[in-house]
Structures are given as structure tokens and as C-alpha cells.
Structure 1
Amino acid sequence: MKRDEIELDEADRRLLGAVQKDASVSQAELADLAAVSPSQVSRRLARLKEFGVLRGIVGVLEPKLAGLTCSAIIRVRLRDHAAANVRAFRDLVERMDEVTLCVMTTGETDYLIKVVARDLPHFQEIVQSKLLRCAAIAHMESSIILEHLKDTTALPLGDT
């Protein structure tokens, strides 16, 4: 079976749903929530990790309580789509811890990135010292996030 051909059964979906809600619960609790045995929890999680369905188990932080009070969405348009420009931009983004999301999009914008910063002056420093120095970028437009109406890492898996 190839990596992208994994079939998820209902127990897998319940297990993934439970892990998305709170990965810190015990294997016994996960087993109850997924309606499988504790030994099945270990085997299923290992299989889901092996196939890349479960990329990792992490703690989700509250940015403001972690001292990151400013977030922004930045729309980026590259100068052109030459391989060197694309690579330069991608390398920059990969090196920037402040970038928490980067997606390639259709339309007038090539990429959307989400940046977190301590405050507005720190955001300005990030833009001026990192992003504006990237020769691959032709145009940037940023919007400061005023309020998060929904911010989740949970995927809709159906009834879990």
C-alpha cells in the first residue's frame, strides 16, 4: 500500500478525533474514546504516523499568553515564477520562525503567509529586515489580525 492509499476505518476516525481534541489523555482513555483496546491504540497510532496521516502530536499554545500579541496575514506576489525566485522565497519562509503558515494560492496573490510577533514594532522589524529584503518579492500587502473568530488545527473527520 502506498503512502497516500491508507484507508481509515471508523475506529481510526474516532481515534484521530480524540487525539485532535486532547492528545495528552492516556492510552486507556483514547481506547475508550475510540472503542478499541489500549494495545490497538498503540498499533493504530504507529500506523497513522507511518502513513503520514498523523504528522505529529504537539501542544497548541495561546499566542497572546506566550507573549506574541500581534498576528498578520501577508499577501505576497513574486517578481516572476522563475525557479530561483520561488526557491529564494521558500527558503526565506522556511527559515522564519515567525511564519506559522504559508500557502500558495491562485489569483493575484502567489502566497499567503501568517506571521506572529511580540507586538507591532516587532512585526515592522520582521517585515523590514526579512521580507522586504527578499529580491524575489515584487509586492506585499499585510493585514493585522484584530480578532480570531476561529483558529483550530482540528480537521473535520465526520462523527467522532
Structure 2
Amino acid sequence: MKSLSTTGLSDATECDTAITQGGLVTCSLIVVDDFHDTLVTLQELFSLNCRDVRAASSGTEAIALMKERPASIVLIDEDLYDFSDSDLAFHLKALVQTHYPHRECITVAVRGDLSPDEMRDFPGFDYAFSKPLDFAKFDAFVAQCDQKLRNRE
């Protein structure tokens, strides 16, 4: 995925237009975090690379966003106030299977109880990243997912 500086896009408005017209991305993201500052920061960072990023401050809001338009990747923080992270991951995957059977939903846990090199299975999740989130590593992961999804089309 190209960054704004290498695509020739001058600002976020042009980036939004390119996303809307389907020119740059196939991966869309929903970031779920009940801490407002983190949510805004992650949304801004992921948007820099012309990614279609929507933000939800609760599990209920994430479900509404997914019903409105499915996302390819959902990044879910632990300890949401209205859902456990695993329950939300299972719920979102079931929603996509029921309403959008041709789509795939990759769920990603962001956990404070993981060391950066540790890999563990978390029920409902396809992948897990440790806190603090390594943005470069996660961006590379999204690029791999993007390529995987493009190869399926």
C-alpha cells in the first residue's frame, strides 16, 4: 500500500475520494477501543495510508458499523465495557457470515497481556498484537491481508 507521499495525493480529501472510487484499497478497517484518545490516534494513523478506517468506541457501535458496511479487518481492544473482546469477535464474524457470505472478516486482538514476541490463541481472533501496538508491524500486516484478499478476487 502506498502512502500519501508516494501516491501523488495531496491531502486526506483526495485520499477519501480515491477510497470511495475504489482506486487504492480493498481492505477496510474498523478500530474498536473505548479509550477516545487511542481510538482517534489509530484512526488517523491508519488513514494516512489511504485506508478506509472507521472507529467504534463500543462493541455495540462496532456491530452497527459492520451491519452498515462490512470491514475486512476489525482491530479490537481488550476490556470493552459492553462486550468481552472474544464475544465481540465471534459476533462480528457470525454477522459477516450471515449477511455477507462472500466477504471475509479478519479479527485482531490488541492485548496488554502479551509480550511483543509472544503468540497465543485467543478465542474468536485470527491474530493478536501486543500493546503498545507497533504501527509499522501492524501496517505491514494489513498490507499482507490486502494482498491476500486481492488474490482471492
TM tier relative to shorter chain: under 0.3
Tell me which protein shows more helix as a share of its residues. 2
Relative to the length of structure 2, the TM-score reads: 0.24
Higher relative contact order by CA 8 Å / sep ≥ 6: 1 or 2?
1
* Bigger Rg, which one: 1
